[in-house]
Amino acid sequence: MKSTAALLLAGGMADDFSGGKKPVHKALLPFRGRPIAGYVIQALHQSKVEKIFVLHDKGADIKAHLDPCTKAVFIEHEEPGVSLGRGIIYGLRKIAEYYGQAEIHEKIIMIVPCDIPLTTMHSFNTLIEKAETKTADVIITIIAKKLLDAAYPKRRFRSTYLAEYHNRYTTQNVTFIHGSFITVKPASGKGQYQVLFGEYTEEMLNRIVESTDALRARRKGKLLLPLLLYELFIVRLVKNGCIMHLVRLFSGMCFRRLTMDKLMTCVNAAFQVKAGYIESEQAEISGDIDRPEDVPVE
């Protein structure tokens, strides 16, 4: 059985909470007297994860403001204000270097945002146990929209109708990466390593990162779904000669016949990666704090 390590994304500034003052690091936003990242780290510490790799901005003294945690390993990004996509790649590379080639292949890496303070040990353990049964390189989490509507009646969640569930579903902010997808090779220079992701070249990886960052920047816009299809599927499916996958994707959406298996087939064809999914029932994982009204912040 593979063990699980967590990559906690603790970078970024809380611009929407500044009130005209100098913004604080989002991970350090106070919630019930403690930084929001502290709650997530506590839940992860109590869970099955063996290590918590806390990725933070250059110059941000995150560790000094959090309670001590024996599982935590703090990773400072070399560049200030790095984007989400590039931060994730950087964090995964540092984790791979930490473990080395032999060990990384025996790990599952759970990527977690720092702004879900209501998440519990049980929430993480439930997802980890489900992810352990999958053999995909990348595993996303989905949850029924009705569960989120019940937990957060004042918030809006974009969703897609899935035929096999006869209901609308949306993705959550937790993703799993199997360590077997990552390769660590010695590079020139003492202590230097080259970290590769499957068969991706650096150019291919950069395009995926750019698409991820572009979508995140426009995630609150009304045209998110068309942009998602264009950025993540249309261009790459056409380039890879997978026109029929594209036809099945659109017909499935138009006639309410889209299934997760069909969607994963499109992901596999577009990105040349073995993708899978697990169903979550943990609504609190979707309770991320983007605006002051999302969760009362003291």
CATH 3.30.1330.10 fits 3-145+169-198+274-286, yes or no: no
pLDDT for 297 equals 47
Give the whole-angstrom CA distance, residue 245 versus residue 254. 14
Closest CA to 84 of 140, 13, 155, 160: 13
pLDDT for 225 equals 46
pLDDT tens by residue, the chain, 298 residues: 789 999 999 998 876 666 656 667 889 988 888 999 999 999 999 999 999 999 999 888 889 999 999 999 999 988 777 788 889 999 999 999 999 999 999 999 999 999 999 999 999 999 999 999 999 999 999 999 999 999 999 888 888 899 999 999 998 989 999 999 999 988 776 667 888 898 887 877 877 777 667 656 655 544 444 445 545 667 666 777 777 877 787 788 788 898 999 888 888 887 788 999 999 999 999 999 877 777 654 4
- Cβ distance 58 to 87 under 8 Å? no
The DSSP code for 80 is: T
Give the whole-angstrom CA distance, residue 127 versus residue 141. 8
pLDDT for 211 equals 67
Give the whole-angstrom CA distance, residue 54 versus residue 110. 12
Q: CB-based contacts of 2: which residues, under 8 Å, 6+ apart?
A: 106, 107, 108, 132, 178, 179
The DSSP code for 70 is: T
Q: For the chain, where do the domains classified as CATH 3.90.550.10 start and end?
A: 3-145+169-198+274-286
- Cβ distance 237 to 99 under 8 Å? no
Give the whole-angstrom CA distance, residue 234 versus residue 214. 15
